[in-house]
Structure 1
C-alpha cells in the first residue's frame, strides 16, 4: 500500500507545482477582445446603450463588445456565469428586453448555438463602458 501512496503523492505534488507555475495564454476570443480595445480609452460606465448604434458584437467568456466602428466600442461584463461558455464559443446572443430600443443593465440575454438553436445559457447585462479612440 505504501508503495502506491508515495508515487501518487509525488505525482500530485509535481502536478500542483507545474500547474501553479504555468501561465495560461489567453484563448482566441479573449485575445480578439483585447485587440479590439487596444488603443482605445475607457470612459464612464453607462446604464443603457441604443441598439441602433451597434454594428457588430464580439464575445469572449463573460464579455460582450458592442462595436460601432473602429473608434467606438462598449464593453459589457455580463452578470452571472450562465453565458461564459456560450460567449467563449461564439454562440448567438439573444436579447429579450428591448421594448425601448436599448440594451440596458439588468436585461436578460440568452445564448443559443448557431445550428439548431439550442439554449446554452442565460445571464444579465452589466454596465456599458464606452471605449473611444483619442485623436
Structure 2
C-alpha cells in the first residue's frame, strides 16, 4: 500500500489485514463482519468503497464466485508469485509463442491453485493454434 497513491488509513489497513488473514477470497460482507468482530467502527458502504479503491490501485483483486445464491464478488490480496508468473500461448504447428499479460487471470489461477493444493511453475504454457495455423484460414 505504501507504493500506491492511497493514504494508509486505519480502515484501509484493517481491510487489508482481514484479507491477509484468509487464504481464500472474501466477499465485502464477510470482510465487514470480520471488521465488526474485531471491534472496528466501519460501515458496509465504506468497506465496498475501500475495496474498490484498493482494486483500482491493484492492491486487491476482485473475482466472481458462483454459488447456489448466484454470482458474488469476492476479494483477495494478489499473490506476488502470480504477478511474476508468465502465461504463454504456444502454437502446436508453427511453434509461435505469445505472452499473455493479464494480471487478473494470473491472480485467479494462483488463488484456485492454492485452494486446490497445487504449486504452479514460473511459466505456464498453454497449447493452442494461432490464427495463421488454425484450420479454415
Give the TM-score normalised by the residue count of structure 1.
Answer: 0.25
Q: Which structure's CA Rg is the greater one?
A: 1
Structure with bigger strand share is 1
Give the TM-score normalised by the residue count of structure 2.
Answer: 0.24
Indicate the structure whose relative CO is greater, using CA pairs within 8 Å and at least 6 residues apart: 1
Structure with bigger helix share is 2
